Structure 1
């Protein structure tokens, strides 16, 4: 057995950083950006690249309508307002998620109730049911780290209790459940497009089935010329077309141009990322310490954001955090314990019932969340590479994970 680098051996990986770049900056992407600078750097309606990207994205995920925003957070904020949620209402959200899944609701004074996670980090119909109260009007789920939630059961739960179903698909652009693309069963769904499998550099997309929701989303962040030209004058909300709701959250045209370019390559992106995911999964299949954390493929297809790994503390002589440090010493600098995505249920923002109250610390008592603790304490992630020349990184990270695992196996 090779000596670990942390103990004086040679590192497994000796490659210059960064070890992960996205998107691939090639001549085609550079050309798309330069052409957009010549076409327009500011758009006030949907006739240019903004509309092109929205139409292409709607087709990509199979949604009737899509409205772009400056960020996924802004899109979730729009979702909250479009859904008509008000102070006094409540939404059930995942406790384990990126903060922006829930913070826009709290910003609006909507109570956020937090649900526990299953072995994949996702909420379930049962964990949502525990948090059901008379003032709950909606549910938002996150397909965390690309693993799709059980949308069959969750959609049935929402129908049974007359709840709006909202999805945060930011980690799962290529994900599906029971043959349906994530977001398909939702009243509205959001897809972040910053450093995701489909990226615009920074941005977000809100999709929906209902044309009224689409119009209200335009009013939320695309005021004036676009609303006046795209909202029918007979709509009861048309008098607001000039002012909208008073906010502007439009995506930059250069971001949309990157997004259009990415969607033209979507099939190639998916194929390459699935190859990498399958290779890593097969290479770690017999590893007693670290394996990929994937929903069974018979149920759902992974969304291809990152590769989630499950650490088995009972099979190791070191802690999860020590395991990661040993991998870093091997040169595997992208082996990571997430910091921003974690249990958010005790954050003080969610203890402020008045959204206009002073920003003063409040103590929040979180619910009992054993599933969240179990998942959070054993989770590690690495990138899903997907660009020319990435094989050295893929092979190197597989070798580093297996080398460290062999050294620390109980």
Structure 2
């Protein structure tokens, strides 16, 4: 009997922790942070020894991990996206294509760069649909931001082929997929630039923080100038000769960098444990009738902290979710913030309303923009349909074999019940 109907739940213990990153804190993080405090140098560009700074060490780690020539540490993932866009020459009058399912910061970064976001459909991978991307290209399109959402790598072969054919810059948003890969290539090192986030909900954290990686020396130089309005005052030589221009202050502090460095040295271990746990659950439910597993473009490159499967429709997904929760396996749907509202385009209010900080000279109405992008809440019906019937279960690096078996048993139990219900009593009566 189902737990919701008075039966014994499969699991009574708490499910996995919320955070991946901060659960890894140990003496290494303490040691690295204390190293900064003992040096009494918390500002990266203070004094001599710039290449020995914690931020420089973190940049070196990401150059090596992503197999790129350049890396730039910044204070947030959003800052990384903005710096990369400006680095790629994106600005007023330009359009940048983004997926309908991503954190609002992806679209916000485009607006901060004074360009216009164009929102396109996702597919069964829950990442950007390459066909929708190509269909949305206009004479004003200058870049695309594929987002490796919830650790799932995008279909980068298709996206890169389209972008190269149409001469568009590709800025990978790797905020939610640090440590992932696509066909053997590290995420972030495939496009023209890759952008990472070290916010606490991410795979590694420095509290806040981010990173831009690229093989393009001019993009790196422009991003560096933009990330620090005074960068040329610190004795730092740009990677390419470019005219200086006004920028922001997106610098990463040494304390952030030290914490991020300790965390980033643990990525491979964390991701290996995540993959082992997710694979065990996937194998245990692969033959379950009535559910469809998310299509992952490269399962070997999946960061694997999110198990997603689809029900035939939204009503069944909601019913399944409630029954699964009662069995002791927390999960998320579009209805209960497991797929947080701010990650779905319909809730990007200031984007859909074309609202800037002031009503005058927004990216949509500035003199440089000749396009006519229109938004409405029904513009990506396929994305809403997919998200409406999707269920997500969080996987953690601490997930044990027993935890995996509980998830498998609970999913199979609920699926079997719903299959029986389909042949008899309606779902409303279960």
TM-score, normalised on structure 2? 0.82
Name 2:80's counterpart in structure 1: 75
> Which residue does the alignment assign to 2:301?
302
Aligned to 1:371: 382
- Aligned residue pairs, count: 396
**2:358 counterpart residue number:** 356
- Separation of aligned partners in 1, 2:43 and 2:122: 41
Deviation, 1:250, is 2.1
Give 1:66 deviation, angstroms. Answer: 1.1
Contact 1:40 1:253 in 2 (8 A): no
Q: String of CA shifts for 1:19-45, please: whole Å, max 9, x gaps.
A: 344232333333333333323462232
Residue 329 of structure 2 corresponds to residue 328 of structure 1: no
Using the TM superposition, give the Cα deviation of residue 324 of structure 1 relative to its aligned residue in structure 2, in angstroms: 1.6
CA change 1:248–1:278 in 2 (3 A) is same
- Per the TM alignment, residue 323 of structure 1 is displaced from its structure 2 partner at its CA by 1.8
Residue correspondence of structure 1 range 11-410 to structure 2 within 5 A: 11-16=9-14, 19-23=17-21, 24-40=24-40, 42-45=42-45, 46-47=50-51, 48-194=53-199, 195-224=201-230, 228-232=234-238, 235-238=241-244, 245-295=246-296, 297=298, 301-304=300-303, 306-313=305-312, 319-335=316-332, 337-339=338-340, 340-344=342-346, 347-352=349-354, 356-357=358-359, 364-365=375-376, 368-387=379-398, 390-409=400-419, 410=422
Q: Provide the C-alpha distance between the structure 2 equivalents of 1:274 and 1:233, rounded to a whole number of angstroms.
A: 37
Q: What is the CA-CA distance between 1:355 and the residue it aligns to?
A: 6.0
Deviation at 1:227, TM superposition (A): 5.8
Residue 187 of structure 1 and its aligned partner are, at CA, apart by: 1.3
In 2: Cα distance, 1:308 partner to 1:10 partner: 24
SS at match of 1:230: coil
CA RMSD of superposed structures (Å): 3.0
* TM-aligned CA distance change 1:312 to 1:233, over 3 Å: closer
CA change 1:398–1:250 in 2 (3 A) is: farther
Instruction: Specify whether residues 306 and 294 from structure 1 end up closer, same or farther in structure 2 by C-alpha distance, changes over 3 A only.
Output: farther
In structure 1, C-alpha distance between the alignment counterparts of 2:281 and 2:239, rounded to whole Å: 54
Query: Which residue of 1 is the match for residue 365 of structure 2?
Result: none
CA distance, structure 2, for counterparts of residue 234 and residue 338 of structure 1:
41
1:172 CA displacement:
2.2
**Cα separation, 1, equivalents of 2:416 and 2:28:** 43
Are residues 206 and 236 of structure 1, via their aligned partners in 2, closer, same or farther at CA, if it must alter by over 3 Å?
closer
Distance 1:135 1:95 in 2: 19
Shift of 1:102: 1.3
- Aligned-residue offset at 1:55: 0.9
SS of the residue corresponding to residue 212 of structure 1 reads helix
Aligned equivalents of 2:230, 2:348: Cα separation in 1: 39
Query: How far has the Cα of 1:233 moved from its partner?
Result: 10
SS at match of 1:68: strand
Cα shift at 1:190 = 0.8
Q: Answer yes or no: is the 8 Å Cα contact 2:146–2:173 preserved in 1.
A: yes
Whether the 8 Å CA contact 1:107–1:355 is kept in 2: the answer is no
1:313-332 deviations in Å (ceiling 9; x for gaps)? 26x9x621222222222232
State whether residues 176 and 182 of structure 1, in contact with CA within 8 Å, keep that contact through their aligned partners in structure 2: yes
Q: CA–CA distance in 2 between the matches of 1:88 and 1:161?
A: 17
- Residue 346 of structure 1 contacts residue 364 of structure 1 at CA under 8 Å; is this kept in 2? no
Residues 180/368 of structure 1: CA separation in 2 closer, same or farther (3 Å cut)? same
Per the TM alignment, residue 391 of structure 1 is displaced from its structure 2 partner at its CA by 4.4
Structure 1 residues 234 and 258, CA gap change in structure 2 (3 angstroms): closer
Q: 1:288 to 1:12 in 2, by over 3 A?
A: same
Residue deviations 1:246-274, cap 9 Å, x none?
42122233332222222322332222111
3-state SS of the aligned residue for 1:84?
coil
Find the residue that maps to 1:114 and give its secondary structure: strand
Q: Does the residue aligned with 1:13 lie in a helix, a strand or coil?
A: coil
How many Å apart are 1:97 and its aligned residue?
1.6
Query: Are residues 289 and 35 of structure 1, via their aligned partners in 2, closer, same or farther at CA, if it must alter by over 3 Å?
Result: farther
Q: Tell me, yes or no, if the aligned pair for 1:65 and 1:207 is still in contact at 8 Å.
A: yes
Partners of 1:301 and 1:233 lie apart in 2 by: 34
